[in-house]
Structure 1
C-alpha cells in the first residue's frame, strides 16, 4: 500500500491506495506546515489521526506547504518516520511540486497554487526549474485565501463595507474586533484563521467592494507569480491548483483574460493526479 498526503496550511488530505491506485482509506487532518508546527506536533497528529486507520504501508509520499526547503522537508520526514516501520520509505516535497505533478503529470508548464497561500513554478515535466520566492502572507501570497480575507477584514473593521454585510459577518461569526486582533497578532496559525473567512467572502463576491478585493488580488497574483517567467508565452500549459483558484475561478479567469494569460486547468486539489503520477512511475520502475 502507498500513503499519499497533500498538506496545505489549513488541512491535509491522506489517501491509502493499492498498487493499482485504487483508494482503500481516506483521512483528513489539520495542515502540517513545519513553519508553524514542531516535529512532535506533526508526529502526534500523524500517529493519532492517521496511523490507526491505515495498514500495510510500504511507502509514504508527503507533499506539503512549507516543505520546499530541505531542512523543513527533513523535519517532516523525521516526524513521520517516528511511527512507521523502518522498512517504510518516506518522500517529502513541497506543495508546489505536488501541484505540478498532479496537474501537469509529465508535461512541462507553469503550475500555480491558490489556496490558503499562493505560489508558482516552472516545471519541465520532471522537476521544478524555477519558482517564485515564497515569502508568506505578510510579504506576498496575493490572491490567497489568507490575503484576500485579511484585506476584507481590514475594510470591515474600518466600517468601509455596507452595513448589512458587516452585520451579517458579526452575526455569523460572533467575533469582536478585540477577538480578531488577538487571533491575528497573539495566537498561532493566524493564516489559517484569516483564510477561514473565504466562504463568507465568496458569498458576497458580486458586491462591488468585495469584487474589487478579489480582482485586485488576482491581478497582483498574476503580476508576481506568473508574469515573472520569460517562458510564459512559450509554455503550452498553465495550471492552478487550490480551493481559492477553484471556487473563485470565475474572477480568476476574467483577470487572466484581461492580462492575456490562458489557464488550461484548474483543480481543487492535486491528489487524483498525484496518485496517477506515482502509480504510473511505480509500474514503470517495476
Structure 2
C-alpha cells in the first residue's frame, strides 16, 4: 500500500493506492506543518483518522508533500515522526511545491510553479530540479497574496474602520469579531495562519466589490513582483498554480498576469489527483 499525501497548513489530503494504482481509501486530516506542530501533535492528528490508524502497519511507502518542509531540518524531523508511526514504510518527505510541480507540469517541461492557498510559495522547475530564490520566513512576514495575508488585511480594514459599512455588516454576520476571541485564536491556539485564511472566503464571496478588488490586486501585484519576477526567464515559461486562492481568483490572476506580460499556465485547486497519476507512472 502506498500513501500519497498533500498537506498544507490547514488540511492534508491522503490517498492510499495499491501497486496497480487502484484507490483503496481517501481521507483528510488537519494540516501537518512541522514548522508549527510538535511530533506528538502530528501523531494525534494521524490517530484521529481511523483509516490511517488501522492501516499504518500495511503501508509500504509514504510520499509526503507538505507546507513547512522546505528545509532539511524539517524534512528530517518529520521523516523521523513518520518512520516511528509507519514502521514498515519507506518514507519520502518533500516540500509542497514538488506536489504542485508533479500535478501541473508535463514531464521534462520547464515552468515556474506557485502555491496560493493558506500560504504562498514560488519555484522554478528546470524539468528535473526545483530552484527557489526566496526562502520563506512564514506567514508573519511573507506569504504574499495568500489566504492568511488576505485574512489579516480584512481584519485590519475592519478594525481601522476602512471597510465599507455594508460589507462590515456582512463581515460581522459571517465571523466572530469580538477582539478577545480573535486574539485568542491568533496568540493562544494552534495554526493562527490557518485561522487567518478562513477570512479569505469573505474576500472571494465579495470579489466583485471595488473594496475587495483593491485588496486582491495589491496582493497579486506583490506576489508577482516579489516571487515570480525573481526569475529572469519568467516571461519565457508558463507559470502554474495550485491552491484555493489561485483557483477561486483565477480571473484576477489572468488580469494581473496580462499587465506583466506573463503566461498563466495550469491552475488547480488541489494537486492530489495529479500526484496519483505521477506515482502510478513512476512506480
Indicate yes or no: 2:276 matched with 1:275: yes
1:193-204 residue pairs with structure 2 within 5 A? 193-204=195-206
CA contact (8 A) 1:218 1:252 kept: yes
Q: SS of 1:232's equivalent?
A: coil
Corresponding residue for residue 167 of structure 1? 169
Q: SS of 2:150's equivalent?
A: helix
> Which of the residues 107, 110, 113 maps onto 1:111?
113
CA contact (8 A) 2:39 2:81 kept: yes
Q: Distance in 2 between matches of 1:194 and 1:223?
A: 23
Q: Distance in 1 between matches of 2:165 and 2:10?
A: 30
User: Do the aligned partners of residues 82 and 117 (structure 1) sit closer, same or farther apart at CA in structure 2, a change above 3 Å counting?
Assistant: same
Corresponding residue for residue 176 of structure 1? 178
Q: Distance in 2 between matches of 1:174 and 1:41?
A: 26
Q: Matched residue pairs, number?
A: 280
User: Do the aligned partners of residues 53 and 253 (structure 1) sit closer, same or farther apart at CA in structure 2, a change above 3 Å counting?
Assistant: farther
Return the offset for 1:141.
Answer: 1.0
Q: Distance in 1 between matches of 2:48 and 2:186?
A: 28
Structure 2 segments unaligned to the other structure (5+ residues): none
Return the offset for 1:227.
Answer: 0.8
Corresponding residue for residue 48 of structure 1? 48
- TM-score normalised over the length of structure 1: 0.93
Corresponding residue for residue 27 of structure 1? 27
Corresponding residue for residue 37 of structure 1? 37
Return the offset for 1:189.
Answer: 1.6
- TM-score normalised over the length of structure 2: 0.94
Structure 1 segments unaligned to the other structure (5+ residues): none
Q: Distance in 1 between matches of 2:227 and 2:85?
A: 37
CA contact (8 A) 1:111 1:123 kept: yes
Return the offset for 1:187.
Answer: 3.3
Corresponding residue for residue 246 of structure 2? 245
Return the offset for 1:79.
Answer: 1.2
Q: Distance in 1 between matches of 2:255 and 2:195?
A: 28
Corresponding residue for residue 16 of structure 2? 16
Deviation track 1:153-200 (CA, whole Å, cap 9, x = no partner) reads: 100111111222112221222331232133223433211110011211
Q: Distance in 2 between matches of 1:5 and 1:253?
A: 29
**Runs of at least 4 residues off by over 4 Å:** none
Deviation track 1:95-126 (CA, whole Å, cap 9, x = no partner) reads: 11111122114222110000000001111222
CA contact (8 A) 2:114 2:123 kept: yes
